[in-house]
Structure 1
Amino acid sequence: MASKFQSRLVGTIILVAIGVIFLPDLFDGKKQHYQEQFASIPLQPQIGIEDEFATIPEPQFAEIDLPPEPVTVVIEEPQELEGVSEPLNVKPLKVAPYPVEKPKVGNHDSGWVVQLGVFRNIDNANQLVAKLRDAGYQAHVFPKQPKPGDLARVVVGPDVSKSKLSAQLKDLEKLTGLKGRLLRFNPLNP
């Protein structure tokens, strides 16, 4: 005979199995089933043969009586309009090209710079410009992006007033130890 433990074990397994199978259905309540409703599409529409080719009514032409002999057309002189004394003469517009202005005389002489030196070593020129800018002068190196082998010019300016720059020559010589030259500034070729 089976022992008490085996009987209890089998009974417990049966109760758990019944609980797992039937209890979820009991607690869920009434289930709703969703089913998509669609209409079936017919494979081929039923078309009658006479509907396939529609009859187009024939065009109706109006009957025109033509004259028995050829017609000649006479063009009369244009009539004068009332209130207009003479016809308008319309001339085509002449479009002139945009006028190119020549540079004004004296514009190329309007700016002045003080050239302090020409350097082969770009680093020396940049150090001098930094020293001048720290002192409050408007200093530049030309050309801005020199190529290897190019000479770099250090200038102070440009300024419109020649007398103002010539007064600064002695101060620049004290600051840098270089004797500067007063030159005209050309903005196209600095």
Structure 2
Amino acid sequence: MATQFQNRLVGTLILVSLGVIFLPDVFDGEKAHYQESFQAIPLQEDVDETLLEASVLPPEEVESFLPPEEPVLVTIGDEGTKASAGDESIVSEADNSQVAAANTQPKAGYEDSAWIIRLGTFRNIDNAKSLVSKLRKKGYSAQLMPRDVKEGELARVEIGPNVSKDKLASMTADLESLTGLKGQLLRFNPLNP
């Protein structure tokens, strides 16, 4: 038989469990249920027909902050003027001198620009990349221009740019003994490298 203590203990547990279950509902009060309001998306939006008939104004003339673009005329000799130096395939010095003559004329606003040394123009990209890596190992700031050149396109190997023309001019003898290529000192054009 159950003792009086056990009966009281069971009764207390039942009252506590009922309090835990029902008292939070009593203290919370009436529950408010929220329902999201939404609208159906129409299949086709109505178009204002007056917008289709309105005229478009021409753009306003704005003064450009860039110097005027002057076309550079370059004539490339026939295919028989190509020369090879060692295993490197470069375009002849006559072609480079024509390009150099066009690039040495300073455009308006670039009189105090930097200078570069152009070592050569290569059709074989692997030879150009190996020359650039060779020059970088020797401490020269060499690069391949244009940077995203593809196979079959011409790539220029250049040293610089540097604002000191005399410093680059003194490097030409060292570069000629290192690579066997006579570099050309040209004005650097930041808009058309």
The answer to which structure has the higher helix fraction is: 2
So what's the TM-score if we normalise by structure 1? 0.49
So what's the TM-score if we normalise by structure 2? 0.48
Larger Rg belongs to: 1
